[in-house]
Amino acid sequence: MRPTVLAAAVSALLVTSAPLAAQTATPPTAATDISRDEFMTVLKSMNPDGVSDQQIKVVDIGAYNVAVGILHRSGKAKQTAIAHSDITEIYYVINGAGTFVTGGTMTGATAVAPEGTVVKVLVGPSTTGPAISGGESRRIGPGDVIIVPPGVAHWFSAIESDLDYLVFRVDPGHVLPAGYVHPLLKQ
């Protein structure tokens, strides 16, 4: 019985120590603000006929980074599937509507170039492909929230009307650049 208790205690210690080892900075003692005006400044700079993902800020809160971005998806643009190795994403739909697919198997999956903005600034190591087979589809629209864990393929299989949505990215591995601020917002 004692070895089992000891093993459980060691396991608990390792689990609780792992996040501490990943910390890169002292947690902030003040809140980080992102105003509607800041979101709108970045959103207005995006291609209205394409797919655009713009990171607004990345904050190191000690145990993990939190990133906030804004995305635009036009029904005129080709949509592709993606899965992130390390990042959890939380979407909040501002406007527009479409069919969002999660899970299943990404078709034709290839790794995203590690030196590009997608990996270095937006979402860390990821794979992408043209579609998802066998995933769960749901219609989304304004006010909807979707949580996509690491490794879960996701894709908009249809855009009914151009979508704008906020994304909150939880980064336990500190793969995103802490302290990042979108260039349009730097003073």
In a domain, 164, yes or no: yes
In a domain, 19, yes or no: no
- Residue 9 has a pLDDT of 37
Which helix (H) or strand (E) is 170 found in, with range?
strand 154-171
In a domain, 10, yes or no: no
In a domain, 76, yes or no: yes
Going from the first residue of the chain to its last (187 residues), give the mean pLDDT of each consecutive group of 10, the final group possibly shorter: 40 41 66 94 92 96 96 94 98 98 97 96 97 97 98 97 97 96 90
Q: Return d(Cα 75, Cα 12) in angstroms, integer.
A: 48
Report the CATH number at residue 34.
2.60.120.10
- Residue 159 has a pLDDT of 97
In a domain, 125, yes or no: yes
CA angle 150, 154, 159 (to 5 degrees): 150
In a domain, 133, yes or no: yes
Q: Which residue has the tokens 């078709």?
A: 107
Which DSSP symbol is given to 125?
S
In a domain, 12, yes or no: no
Strand, coil or helix: what is 173? coil
Which DSSP symbol is given to 100?
E
C-beta of residue 121 within 8 angstroms of C-beta of residue 176: yes
SS (H, E, C) 29-86: CCCCCCCHHHHHHHHHCCCCCCEEEEEEEEEECCCCEEEEEEEEECCCCCCCEEEECC
10, burial (CB in 10 Å: exposed 0-12, middle 13-18, buried 19+): exposed
How many structural domains are present in the chain?
1
Q: Which residue has the tokens 């208790």?
A: 5
- Residue 7 has a pLDDT of 40
- Residue 40 has a pLDDT of 93
Q: Return d(Cα 83, Cα 123) in angstroms, integer.
A: 9
Name the residue range of residue 45's domain. Answer: 25-185
First to last CA, the chain: 62
